[in-house]
Structure 1
Amino acid sequence: MTARVAILAGAGGELGRTTAQKLAAAGFTVVGLDRNEDALKELPDGIRYEVGDPTDPVVAKSLVDRIAAEVGPPEVLVNTIGTYHLGDALDATPEDLRLMIDVNAGTALWLTQAVAPYLRERGSGAIVHVAARQGVEPTAGMATYSLSKAALVHLTRLLDLELRPLGIRVNAVAPQLIDTEKNRQFVPPEVLAHAVSPEAIADLVVYLVSDAAAPISGAVVPAYGA
């Protein structure tokens, strides 16, 4: 198998679909993962997908192993999976915190664990997670979300320390707000005016997994918009 395989988690979302298209245009054989099969069906022809919920570590490993066996060992992992919650720290519930940590940080860890053996075997590879500005700079009114994205930022840097000696690069992109159809439904126009397009984020991701970005690992690249 000679394909350069890229696994894209969260491929059913707007950012995921856009990133899938750009990875394919860059020469990767892309396999999208998402729990929403209907959303995956909107991927362009030629992009394979697998339905499953990578927030479950057993499912994440099963999906990655099947892709490696049927398509080829992965060279790249891109993780765009995330969710958010509004609310102050004093109003946070255990359920709020658990959901944010499980989805925004846990998924990144389980997917990395599943992919790393294949990258280690080849002696190279690149992983990119989508973090957020709120994980770098505390943001009032988004307590559990900020905590979970801060965990993802720290995880990215920890993974860099552990995996870089194996030839595996780990980076993250940190948008503040992405201009998606979903966000346009509730974000005020004056705030949305400063949002970053999915295409711009996808371009950053594709660069970070490219050979041109070979010296870059452990970076959390800000994509805060205007």
Structure 2
Amino acid sequence: MSAPVTLVVGAAQGIGRATAVTLARAGHRLALMDRDPVGLHKTAALIGEGTPVYPVDIRDHDAVEFAVGNIETDHGPLERLAHVAGVFSTGSVLDSDPDDWQRMFDVNVTGLVAVLRSVGRVMRERRSGSIVVVGSNSAGVPRMGMGAYGSSKAAAAMIVRVAGLELAPYGIRANIVAPGSTDTAMQRSLWEDPDDDNGARSAIEGDPAQFKVGIPLGRIAEPSDIADAIEFLLSDRARHITMQALYVDGGATLRA
């Protein structure tokens, strides 16, 4: 029988790419999924020749189901899932573009469900597996301008916990890693100059006018910080942890 496979969804850049690299170094056999084929191949090149890639838009449930079936048939049983895919933009609850709001829920919630259903069913059939979904600390604390993003991540967190409850009788764990500000293209898009590292200061120092505390540890995260937490929760070292949200945010939410 083929060795187990770990699927990384959202592997084309940022935290997803760092997760793929970290898991590969830890000995995982990977399959990579993302809607960005160019980024996927760049990530695969960092891991090693022959890493299977699946350019899939997770909003397409049938495409996700087809890809998961192909992974199982061609590469081996899916034993672990790291779901990192997500989209982000800012905007007022009252004034944001309805299409932008819908897009975030289509990807961050409905797309996640498509992946959880396809992967969770094959894990349930074998009564074995581990799932980690990347959420956000904005799921637990209100952030100005993040009504759509924060609420989509809050919905995702509850979906993962309920899925974890449903899968627990089969020995399958499901957890959330909730990052705060992390040095990715998504984070830098919020800065006045994305190429100026000093843009991180606003996140680190906070903004009382927006009711936002800073980051007690005095730094934003590197993608590898989030990837290390994902690797731990996927591993057997976390075998008695399920339905939990691990905040990796330097203390920014004061764990409210």
TM-score, structure 2 as length reference: 0.84
How far has the Cα of 1:182 moved from its partner? 4.5
Q: Within 5 Å, which residues of 2 pair with 1:212-223?
A: 212-223=237-248
Q: Match of 2:102, SS?
A: helix
Counting matched residue pairs gives 226
Report Cα offsets for 1:109-152 as digits up to 9, x if no partner: 11010011221122110111110011111212111111111111
The offset of 1:25, in angstroms, is 1.6
Residue pair 1:35, 1:52 contacting (<8 A) in 2 also: yes
Distance 2:228 2:19 in 1: 8
Once the two structures are superposed, the pairs formed by residues 15-164 of structure 1 within 5 Å of their partners are: 15-43=15-43, 44=46, 45-46=48-49, 47-164=51-168
- Conserved? CA contact 2:2–2:77, under 8 Å: no
Pick the structure with greater CA Rg.
Answer: 2
The question of whether the paired residues in 1 share the 8 Å contact of 2:60 and 2:111 is answered with yes
Matched with 2:228 is 203
Cα distance in 1 for partners of 2:98, 2:28 equals 40
Distance 1:196 1:28, change over 3 A: same
Query: Over residues 78-122 of structure 1, what are the superposed CA-to-partner deviations in whole Å (9 max), with x where a residue is unaligned?
Result: 111011121111113432221111111112111010011221122
Please tell me the residue identity of whatever aligns with 1:40. Answer: L
Kindly indicate whether the alpha-carbon contact (under 8 Å) linking 1:5 and 1:71 is maintained by their aligned counterparts in 2. Answer: yes
Separation in structure 2 between the aligned mates of residue 32 and residue 191 of structure 1, nearest angstrom = 33
Cα distance in 1 for residues equivalent to 2:94 and 2:137? 21
Instruction: Give secondary structure in 2 for the equivalent of 1:170.
Output: strand
Root mean square deviation of aligned Cα? 1.5
What residue in structure 1 maps to residue 171 of structure 2?
167
Counterpart in the other structure of 2:8? 8
Counterpart of 1:89 in structure 2: which amino acid?
V
- Identify which range, 126-135 or 186-195, moves more after superposition: 186-195
User: What is the alpha-carbon distance in structure 1 between the residues aligned to residue 185 and residue 112 of structure 2?
Assistant: 24
